[in-house]
Structures are given as C-alpha cells and as structure tokens.
Amino acid sequence: MRLLEEQRGAGRSLGTGDELQEWLGRSRTVEPADLARTACAAIAHTIVQASAGCDRLVLAGGGVLNRALMAELKERAGIPVQPSDTLGVPAAWREAMAWAVLGALSQDRVPVTLPQVTGVAKAPISGCWTLP
C-alpha cells in the first residue's frame, strides 16, 4: 500500500506500470496468481478510497472484464458497482467516446484543462483540427 499512497500523493494514475516495478521485483517468491490477486485488491482499495462520498461506481474500459477486480470493488465499495454498459455506454467504447467528446470540445474552443485541477494560470484550448 505504501507505493499506492506515494503514487496518489504524486497525483498519478495507476496506468503507467512503473510504480509497481519495485514491488514486483521484491515479489519473485510469490506465485503469479497471488501477485495478480493482490494487485486487484490494491487497485480496488485505491478506487474505493478515491470515490468516498459517491453513491455508486460506474466502470468502463477493460477493467470491467476483470472478474477479480470487479468482485473486489463490489465487496469493498459498500455502494452499487456497475459497468457503464448498463447505462447505454459500452465499456469497450469508452475511450473512443471520450476522444470524440474531447474533439468536439476542441472544435467548439472549450477548455478542458481547468486551473482548479491542474494549477495552470489560464485554461488553454486542448488539441487542434488539421484538415487535409
């Protein structure tokens, strides 16, 4: 959990993989299945901590196919946990839909980098349109 707390304090996501390299290196005597299950528990713990105060978790992306992760989230969350598919947004399409929204916001000149989130002085317009 120490690595997860360090990562959270640094404001990083769980998606880079490098934050667990040290942990994996020290864990060579542990069975791979146990390592994978422990990683699912740690990720679920982090998600549940970050979502404190929410009344439900709606999940999208490849993680919804991970039965161990979904079970950990449902066990730990204490609130309903559901894939975005149940709300009409296929989990597999999440990233494509997000890019479409970001593209539309860029076209409409709406900033998506907010000062209260990133600390930038002025919210810039992200992206550009380059036509052939």
Percent helix, strand, coil in the chain (nearest 5)?
60, 5, 40
The domain made up of 2-89 has a fold known as: Nucleotidyltransferase; domain 5 (3.30.420)
Backbone torsions φ then ψ of 58, nearest 5 degrees: -110, 120
User: Whole-model pTM above 0.75?
Assistant: no
Contacts of 39 (CB under 8 A, 6+ apart): 20
At 19-75, the pLDDT tens digits run: 566 666 666 677 878 888 888 898 899 899 989 999 999 998 888 999 999 999 999
Strands (E), the chain: 57-59, 81-83
Q: Contact 73/47 with Cβ under 8 angstroms?
A: yes
The domain limits of the chain are 2-89
Asked whether the predicted pLDDT for residue 5 surpasses 80, the reply is: no
